[in-house]
Amino acid sequence: MAGDALIELRGVNKHYGNLHVLQDIDLTVGRGEVVVVIGPSGSGKSTLCRAINRLEAVESGTIKLDGRPLPEEGRALAQLRAEVGMVFQSFNLFAHKTVLANIMLAPIKVRKKKKDEAARRARELLDRVGLASQADKYPAQLSGGQQQRVAIARALAMEPKALLFDEPTSALDPEMINEVLEVMRQLAREGMTMVVVTHEMGFARSAANRVVFMADGRIVEDRTPEEFFTAPRSERAKDFLSKIL
Ligand code: ADP
Ligand code: MG
């Protein structure tokens, strides 16, 4: 894996005022790897995702995607964001656009795809997430689980090198969680590189290559799910697991 790192963070630090929200973060995500990030609320998981996508600037350290440092701004940055898709807890679909139009938008604007090609691809992706029949609906007409699957299709439409998920099922009713996790498991099986912040420990156990446990802005453990769940080393992880399992 070390020979083929897709996402690489070295010595990354960030503060919000006095709060040291990312502390000396070293993290490597290999191509095709699924890394689940867990940890208490406020430990810096979302900030880590946002730093990887350069939605947040960091103060020191380096972040590389496919061997290249993240660009600071401009066209190169827009290109980078297109290469790393992000799926949020709140689906962030455009309410006044149909499902199909939501998926077509960025490929047309950013990738300069032709409209008919973007539409064809969007239909393929909807089929892939089990929503082929919903193309002409508006987001509000769909369930939360369906909206999140549209958000995943929309991220995939940019043909990203990696996908970041920040608590993708936390806003969903329990009966809808599995349909979203199943789409994510399928992506993992197909070899998509994924960083997934989640409290779904079943997903972590079954789909992750590695579990990264964060507390107070630090990566405290970075191990296989088997190792992490059966024998957490740190008191912080033991305490966290005792509360959620
Ligand atoms: P997590 O996703 O693990 O819950 P976050 O990365 O969202 O943690 O936040 C880490 C810490 O940084 C929290 O204490 C949070 O309140 C703080 N924080 C997050 N975003 C901001 C911001 N834009 N300004 C100030 N503090 C923030
Ligand atoms: Mg968060």
Q: What spacing in Å lies between the alpha carbon of 47 and ligand 1's midpoint? A: 6
- For a mutational test of ligand 1's pocket, the pick from 46, 49, 58, 165, i.e. the residue with the most ligand atoms closer than 8 A to its C-beta, is 46
The answer to whether the Cα torsion of 55, 56, 57, 62 is positive or negative is negative
Contact criterion met (CB below 8 Å) for 61 and 12: yes
Q: What is the pLDDT of residue 3?
A: 53
Distance CA 137, CA 97 (A): 9
The neighbour count for residue 224, using CB atoms within 10 Å, is 12
Residues of the chain with pLDDT under 50: 2
Residues 74-102: tens digit of each pLDDT: 777 877 778 899 999 998 899 999 999 99
ipTM of the complex: 0.98
Provide the whole-model pTM. Answer: 0.95
Which is the closest atom of ligand 1 to the Cα of 43?
Answer: 3
Distance CA 229, CA 236 (A): 13
Evaluate: CB of 148 within 6 angstroms of ligand 1. no
